[in-house]
Amino acid sequence: MELSDWRDRIDALDRKLVELLNQRARCVLSLAPLKKRTGLPIYEPKREQEVLDNIAAHNGGPLAAEALRRVFERIIDEMRSIQRPLMEDDTK
């Protein structure tokens, strides 16, 4: 394969990543009202650890565990940001 073939393949993977990240965002937005109703905070260290454990347990490489962890910390951070407006106290 030539350089341009590899890049086409990478671009196709990136489009799938965009779709999965948006699917994940939709889940996070859907569960926000449930969290709010049950009084759960946006940031739950225990759940965050579960997410990171799930990722580490399913990493077949070649990415190192630490590299994947850094990527997911960014993903989780962006997900918290979109959840925040839905979790704000609307009784004020």
Residue nearer to a copy of itself on the CB measure, 26 or 88: 26
Residue number with CB closer to a copy of itself (31 or 43): 31
Residue matched to tokens 């839905």: 86
End-to-end CA distance of the chain: 60
Residue number with CB closer to a copy of itself (46 or 92) = 46
Q: Where along the sequence are the contacts to a copy of itself (CB under 8 A)? A: 1-3, 6-7, 9-11, 13-31, 34-35, 38, 40, 47, 50-51, 54-55, 58-64, 67-68, 70-72, 74-75, 78, 81-82
Phi, psi torsion values for 52, nearest 5 degrees: -70, -35
DSSP 62: S
**Amino acid, res. 85:** P
Cα 30 from chain centroid?
14
Minimum CB separation of residue 91 from a copy of itself in Å reads: 21
